[in-house]
Amino acid sequence: MTKIVAGEPATDEYELELSKKLMEITEPPPDGGLTAWSQVLVSHLLVVNGFGYISSFSLFESHWVAVLGRSASEISWVGSMQMFLLFFVGTLSGRAMDAGFFRSLIYVGCTMQILGTFTTSACQAYWQLFLSQGIANGLGNGLLFTPAVALVGTYFSKKRALALGFAACGAPVGGIVFPIVCRKSENIVLWCI
């Protein structure tokens, strides 16, 4: 690989792109502005979809205990696996983001998250639930969580704690929204059917 030296003109297109990125990263974080705060919104929504959904697991716990006839302990393995994968895969996805795979992580993670949620709605057996909510959703969350946190950190310096605070508030917001959505939509959809 060609070594890039600061100050020397870049010859290759790849080198030019890389030198631009290096110049950008040496600049101090903007600490504000529309782009920076829109990344806080992105991070907030990622946390809503991830932690907010996981934190609403109690909804699923009580439902699946009744429907599948399994013990609360057995059902909670699904949520535990989901949570384990979030943090464990997060250690790897953070490094993948550093390596420049942010977009790929977002696409794959969001797809797995949504796939896991929709397949959960069609589950009829314990293994299906484990696969959809525990594994698919857990892997999706794992791919998204660390990039969500790291993304805000690159845009803020002085206001980093505040920005991360707003992003982290996605967990309680999701935890408030999802149970309400579930309660309301359950009744509405039944009425429509």
Partner 1 sequence: MHDVRLTFGAFQIARQLEPTVGFAWATRVMGFVMLFNTAVIITLAKPRHASRIKGPLVEWSSFREWPFTLFSIGIFLTLWGVYFAYYYVCTASMISMAAHAQNETLTRVHANIDDHVWEGGHPCLVFNIAHASHHPKRGWHPRSSDPSLTRGQIFRCIQHIDSIRFGFRYPLALLDWSFELQWICRLSDRVRHTLQCRADAVSLDFIQSHHRSE
CB of 85 to partner 1, least distance (A): 14
> What part of residues 116-155 is at the interface with partner 1 (CB under 8 A)?
117-118, 120-122, 151, 153-155
The residue behind tokens 């949520």 is 79
Contact status: 35 vs partner 1 (CB under 8 A): yes
Contact status: 22 vs partner 1 (CB under 8 A): yes
> What part of residues 81-110 is at the interface with partner 1 (CB under 8 A)?
83, 91-92, 95, 97-100, 102-103, 106-107, 110
Number of residues that bind partner 1 (CB under 8 A): 86
Q: Which residues in 142-154 are b (16+ Cβ under 10 Å) and which e?
A: bbbbbbbbebbee
CB of 125 to partner 1, least distance (A): 13
Residue 29 has a CB neighbour count (10 Å cut-off) of 17
Contact status: 6 vs partner 1 (CB under 8 A): no
Distance of CA 109 to the CA centre of its chain: 7
> What part of residues 154-193 is at the interface with partner 1 (CB under 8 A)?
154-155, 157-166, 168-169, 171-183, 185-187, 189-190, 193
> What part of residues 41-80 is at the interface with partner 1 (CB under 8 A)?
41-42, 45-46, 48-49, 53-59, 61-63, 65-67, 72, 76, 79
Closest CA to 117 of 50, 179, 170, 65: 50
Residue type, 3: K
CB of 143 to partner 1, least distance (A): 13
Closest CA to 133 of 42, 185, 64: 64
CB of 11 to partner 1, least distance (A): 19
What letter does residue 52 receive in the DSSP assignment? I
CB of 137 to partner 1, least distance (A): 10
Instruction: Output 21 or 32, the one with its CB closest to partner 1.
Output: 21
Helix axes 160-168, 137-155, angle to 10 degrees: 160
Percent of the chain that is helix, strand, coil (3-state, to 5)? 80, 0, 20
Instruction: Output 16 or 66, the one with its CB closest to partner 1.
Output: 66
